[in-house]
Amino acid sequence: MSKRDLKKYLSELNKEQLEEQIIELYEKFSPVKVYYNFVFNPKEETLLQECKLKIANEYFPVKKAGRRSKPKMRRSIAQKYIKHFIVLGVDPFVIADVMLYNIEVAQTFSSENAIKQELFYKSMFNSFEQAVVFLIANGILTDFKNRIIAIHNQTISQKWHNEPEFNAIIERFEY
């Protein structure tokens, strides 16, 4: 069914029928429920704190039953939250904060631990590039420029082998 066909179908329904369909969608499909719960009660700050806690836990896991858990360092956790926030229509400033926070936590971890996996550095570069593209697309680059430059400076001080790639992105928007 095309969007046009859907609009035609919905225009033929009366108010009660529309309400019934929306309630049925709400009860039947979890994403619809999540969306409406967010729309009517957008606790962005709570979502942000929960998200940051999960991201930090990927690198600095909480000790369980007296033993320390091993860091998983999964970029996918942050990506899942970012995608979810975009779908919900969360404020771009919040999304940008999460994007940069993910890189910053990873850099804090790498400053304290030797990382041998090449994929870690490539993944952090991809996150950095996506963040900069998002910031530019939403017209908020200047609001986050200091954090972007601080991330780049960390790649220099930690001697990341892919620092020139980070530098190339910085050079695109610096005059």
What pTM, to 2 d.p., does this model score? 0.81
Does residue 64 have a pLDDT over 80? no
Does residue 3 have a pLDDT over 60? yes
Q: Which of 130, 125, 89 is nearest to 110 (CA)?
A: 125
Give the chain's mean pLDDT: 91
Does residue 54 have a pLDDT over 90? yes
Does residue 1 have a pLDDT over 90? no
Q: Please, which pLDDT band fits residue 108 given cuts at 50, 70 and 90?
A: very high
User: Quick one: three-class SS letters along 139-173?
Assistant: CCHHHHHHHHHHHHHHHHHCCCCCHHHHHHHHHHH
Does residue 172 have a pLDDT over 90? no
Q: Which of 150, 146, 106 is nearest to 127 (CA)?
A: 106
Once rounded to an integer, what is the mean pLDDT over residues 33-41?
81
